[in-house]
Structure 1
Amino acid sequence: MLKSFTVNDIEELKQYERKLFESMDKTLLQINNEINTHTSQALFSKMKFGGVGFDPLNSKCELNIIEQINQSFTYLASFYALEVLFTEYPKFAPFRLNLGTAPGSDIESECGELAAEVFAAVAPTSNQKLKKDINKVLETEAKLKFVLFMCPNFELGRQLKLERDGVIVWALKGANTL
């Protein structure tokens, strides 16, 4: 499902965050209801192939929990990245958020001056994600280029030693603080 939309301010962003947490809460209730009525194999099968989980932004739409987890943390990282951009670079707002397989950078300023790639992973070097995202954002025409990531064991803020070629690298809250 393509998900691309403009976010005008932090208040609007908080509405998307609430939807994501609602889907997580609904899935937790679903697991609690299923845990005592299925064998571990049956429950794990439902988690992998469907029957447990919801779309992170639409708790009425079923999705397997593996996809929900992956999408939820990618979306959450994007939301936290937007918080940083709204706070640190408000003159570039509003921002276009391109989630999932939507074309373009993960986050783009509507004025075209800023582009960002965002990810959530165990480490920024996993699957060379940081390197690939720096290369991807370097291909844009934006003046300000970012890679923002959510990974455990990184202090919130700019990561100067990970930056190269003028791309600003930023560790986001969340991986250690949820």
Structure 2
Amino acid sequence: MLKSFKVNDINELGQLEQKLYESMDKTLLQFRSEITSNSSQTLFSKMKFGGAGFDPLDSKRSLNIVEQINQSFTYLASFYALEVLFTEYSRLAPFKLNLGTAPGSDIESECGALAAEVFAAVAPTSNQKLKKDINKVLATDAKLKFVFFMCPNFELGRQPQLEKEDVIVWALKGANAI
């Protein structure tokens, strides 16, 4: 399912986060029930193949828990990246948010001046994600290029030691709560 939409201001992020947390809460309630009524094999099967999770932005749509976890943290990272962009670069708003397999950079300014890639991972080097995202954003025509990531053990803020060429690399809040 493609998820691409415009975010006009920082207030809209609260509504998106609320949807995401509603899906997490619904999954938690479902797990409480599933744990007591299923064998470990059945529960793990539901976690992997579906029936134990929900789409992060549509709690009515079933999704396997592995995908829900991956998407939820990527979406949260995107929302946190937008908070930074609205705070630091509000003049470039509105921003287009491309979640999942939607084409384009993960975040783009509607005027075309900014492009950003966003990810959540155990480490920025996992699967060469940081390197791949830097290369992806370098291929855009945007003047401002970012890679935002959510990983444990990084302080919130710019990470100059990870930057290449003109790409600004920024660690996001959230991962250290894990």
Partner of 2:89: 89
For the residue of structure 2 that corresponds to 1:36, the secondary structure is helix
Partner of 1:40: 40
Per the normalisation by structure 1, the TM-score is 0.99
Partner of 2:176: 176
Q: How far apart are the structure 1 equivalents of 2:146 and 2:51?
A: 37
Residues 21-170 of structure 1: pairs in structure 2 closer than 5 A: 21-170=21-170
Amino acid aligned to 2:45: S
Once superposed, which parts of structure 1, at least 4 consecutive aligned residues long, lie more than 2 Å away?
none
For the residue of structure 2 that corresponds to 1:165, the secondary structure is coil
Which runs of 5 or more structure 2 residues have no equivalent in the other structure?
none
Q: What is the count of residue pairs matched by the alignment?
A: 178
Amino acid aligned to 2:44: F
Amino acid aligned to 1:86: F
Among the aligned pairs, what percent are the same residue?
A: 81
Per the normalisation by structure 2, the TM-score is 0.99
What is the Cα deviation at residue 177 of structure 1? 2.6
Q: How far apart are the structure 2 equivalents of 1:136 and 1:30?
A: 38
- Deviations along 1:94-126, whole A, 9 cap, x unmatched? 100000010000000001000000000000000
Q: How far apart are the structure 2 equivalents of 1:148 and 1:117?
A: 6
Q: How far apart are the structure 1 equivalents of 2:17 and 2:73?
A: 11
For the residue of structure 1 that corresponds to 2:118, the secondary structure is strand
User: RMSD of aligned C-alpha atoms?
Assistant: 0.7
Q: How far apart are the structure 2 equivalents of 1:158 and 1:65?
A: 31
Q: How far apart are the structure 2 equivalents of 1:142 and 1:44?
A: 44
Q: How far apart are the structure 2 equivalents of 1:138 and 1:31?
A: 42
Q: How far apart are the structure 2 equivalents of 1:75 and 1:54?
A: 14
